[in-house]
Structure 1
Amino acid sequence: MRIEITADAARFRSLTEPFLLRDPLRHTVITTGIANHLTGMQVDADRSRFLSVHDDDATVIGAAMRAAGHGVYLGELPAGSIAAVADAIAEVASDVDDVEGATDDATEFAEHWGERHGVGYREEYSTRLYRLAQLNFPIAAGSPRRATESDVGLCVDWAEAMRRESGMPPPSLTTIAIRKRIATGRWWLWERDGVPVSLAAHQVPVFGWSRIGPVYTPPEHRGNGYASILTAQVCRTLRGQNLNVCLFADLANSTANSIYRTIGFEPVRDFVYYQFTSATIKP
């Protein structure tokens, strides 16, 4: 087994594309990350690192990444490789503060990282990956529209509010990042009586998939079905482009999980996010 780390997103894509194509849904975060780097959507892209695991015949059998401003994200990795992957990342990014991945893999990574670096770790949140099956379209008052340049400030504020409510650590999407994404037409607002009441966006389509997120409704507008119908609207738009649709939902948010199931999303896999701590403790 050999591990290779590169800062070159194009090289990483050329190395790993056949592997990622085997299960593009499982690797939606990594494939989206690559696309964001190659299309100029990733801020501070030169700080990112991409890791591939190779078999003895050079075949790629695993992948992970650390996008700039974020922690380690684990793709599918071969059995017995987690410790070696953590050690390889430590050689190029010893300041890692967190890890996210499928529950068993992320837990093993956190345990090894904690032992090697003398730190603890705690679970900040866990998510469930869903894929859209049969789309069910709800009813709610109002209408959708794509966000525009004039909505950047509102979208930044709502994205940050969502981050705080969910317990996700900083950094969140920056103003520059959100402005770029709005310019592509991938951020939507639901309006009622001319007032924005909900937000939903989708990621750049890759390998036939597009991932919904973020989705946010301010507390004063909740309970009216706005997030449900706007998410369904975005899904219908993507389906009209012959794309498959997926999303992540915070497992602690029972309302969101219920909404997505009602719309027609089916669960696929659970993921967990660990934050490393200065104290030598474990969860």
Structure 2
Amino acid sequence: MPVLTIAFPVFDPVAFSIGPIAIRWYALAYIGGIVLGWIYARSLLKNERRWGGPAPITLVQLDDFILWVTIGIILGGRTGYVLFYNPIFFIQHPAEIFQLWNGGMSFHGGFLGCVAAVMLFARLNNIPILSLGDITTAVAPIGLFLGRLANFINSELWGRETDSSVPWAMVFPNGGPEPRHPSQLYEAGLEGILLFAVLAVMVRMGALKRPGLILGSFIAIYALARITSEFFREPDPQLGFLWGGLTMGMLLSVPMIIAGAILIMMAWRRETQHIEKSI
């Protein structure tokens, strides 16, 4: 083991137990992300200056939406993992599709599930889809940050092999004897802290007044952050590297850059048209 390699601080994946029920850190990350995101979203809706007037979504509607988006994230995340990352295994073992406690969630699938929840809830409640998407994605980095920390605690989704020139390289308990990048922490920083900070600054600068701008920015910036982190993350063993050394995470993120850019351009164009009409 290289001299500068850091020993992985082994954590118990179970945070605490209540009788026979074990509460895992990963479950707490989901719960914490949803609760903290809900609190932050409520504060944004209460601030009329951020919207240029009353928010197009009421607090009661937001409270009702939480259940919808939770279901969308879980169903979408699991479905995405089954279809994108391990379809052959689950065809052979269909009963394990429902065993969420064994792990296996896909961000891209969870995002699509979230999109479906936003569109359906907005239509049923006569809410602007883009504004609901903006408020949802403005708070999403909180959950992403906590989720990546849970990945680190669970010693899963670790990084690629490296050498002693990287002083923070770690040997993960189930990752073999080679030192590796702590890519979960890279993702927590890029997809969580950095993305949250950028979107928070945009919100303070009035981005919520341009429906779709926060949504498009989240999609594009997340995709760029994910592609960057994939250069340090070990690909899933059942998939390995794909064409030209690309990974599944990279391939799934490319369409997000395009979609995000389109939404950003539409948001800016819509605002320009509004200004011209008012003049």
Instruction: Verify same fold: TM over 0.5.
Output: no
Q: Which has the higher contact order (CA 8 A, sep 6+)?
A: 1
Greater helix percent: which structure? Answer: 2
TM-score tier by shorter-chain length is under 0.3
Greater strand percent: which structure? Answer: 1
